[in-house]
Amino acid sequence: MSIFIIAEIGINHNGDINLAKQLIDVAKNAGADAVKFQKRTLDIVYTQEMLDSPRESPWGTTQRQQKEGLEFGEEEYQEIDSYCKLKEIEWFASAWDLESQKFLQKFNCKYNKVASAMLVYEPLLRMIAQEKKHTFISTGMSNIEDVDRAVAIFKEAGCPFEVMHCVSTYPMDEHEANLNRIKTLRDRYGCNIGYSGHEVGLAVSYAAAALGITSLERHITLNRSMYGSDQAASVEPAGFTMLVGAVHKIENAMGDGSLAVNPKEIPIAKKLREHIS
C-alpha cells in the first residue's frame, strides 16, 4: 500500500476561493492523494472577549474580522467539492467543534481528520467515530493518556483510523521531531501510523517515509512569505512536487528486507569472481 499523501491547505487560502483552487491544483499536479481544510464555528471555538480583542489583518482590526476573513462557508465549500471532483482528488477537513463536523457531513467526504488540538475533545471524537469513515488522528500537544482515550473511542465504535505522529510547533525544529515515536506508536496500538509535519524543508518527511509511515501530511502554500500563521511551516509548489516524488522513491527502495541475492547480481558475481573459481 502506497503512502497516502495529504496536502494540508488549512487556512493558507487566506479566505480566497481562487487561491484555494490554485492550491488544489498544486496538490493534484504534485501527485497528492487528498487536500485538507479546517472548519470552525467562530462563536463556539472562541470567546466573545477574544473575538473582540485587537488584531491587525488584511480584513480589519479585530480577531473576529481576521478569523471571519479566513473562514469559508457553504458556498465556498460547495465550490471546493465541485472543483475537487473535477480534478479527481479527494478533499476533507478537520472540524474544531460539533457544529462544524455536522456542516462537513453535508459533503459526504471519504475521510475525517482529528486535529491535534481537538484530540482531547471527546464529544467531537465520538461524533466523528460514529460516521465510520477512515479517520486520521493527529497526536500533537497530547500525552499518551490522551491518545489512549482517542484510540479507544475509535476502536469501540468500529471506525477505521490511523494515528499520525505530530509535533505541534510552527515551524518545528528538526531536533524536536522524535521520529522514533512512529515505531513506539505502532507497537503500542498495532495500527497504521502516519506523520503530520510542520518542519521547514523535506528531510524529516523523507526520514518518516523510511520508517514505514502509511500517511504523510504537509501544509502547502504558494509562497511561504504570504500572510498567515501556517505559511512559514508550509511547503511551496516545487518543494511539494519534489516531496511526493521522493517519498514514493523511498517506498520503492525499502524492499522486503530479504537477505537473498538479487538475481540481477548473479551474472555480475560470476564475472567478477571468475578468477576465484
> What pLDDT, in 10s, does the model give residues 124-177?
999 999 999 999 999 999 999 999 999 999 999 999 999 999 999 989 999 999
Report the pLDDT averaged over residues 194-202.
96
Whether residue 171 is preceded by a cis peptide bond, meaning omega within 30 degrees of 0, is yes
Residue 249 lies in a domain: yes
Per the domain annotation, does 85 fall within a domain? Answer: yes
Q: Is the pLDDT of residue 277 over 90?
A: no
Q: pLDDT value at position 1?
A: 72
At 267, which CATH number?
A: 3.20.20.70
Give 39's strand partners.
95
Within a domain: residue 17? yes
Is residue 277 situated within a structural domain? no
Residue 274: CB atoms within 10 A of its CB come to 8
Q: Which residues span the domain enclosing 43? A: 4-272
Evaluated on CA atoms 198, 203, 204, 206, the torsion sign reads: positive
pTM value is 0.96
pLDDT in tens, 47-98: 999 999 999 999 999 999 999 999 999 999 999 999 999 999 999 999 999 9
> For 102-118, what is the mean pLDDT?
98
When pLDDT is cut at 50, 70 and 90, the band that residue 115 belongs to is very high
Number of domains in the chain: 1
Of 209, 205, 198, the residue nearest 173 (C-alpha): 198
Residue 52 is assigned to a structural domain of this protein: yes
Residue 196 and residue 167 in contact, taking contact as beta carbons nearer than 8 Å: no
Can you tell me whether residue 33 is helix, strand or coil?
Answer: coil
Identify whether 224 is part of a domain: yes
| Cβ pair 80, 104 in contact under 8 A | no
Q: Is residue 205 scored above 80 in pLDDT? A: yes
pLDDT at 170: 87
Structure confidence at residue 263 (pLDDT): 96
Residue 92 in domain: yes
Mean pLDDT for the stretch of residues 226-236: 93
- Give the integer Cα–Cα distance in Å for 28 and 222: 14
Separation CA 35–CA 49 (nearest Å): 33
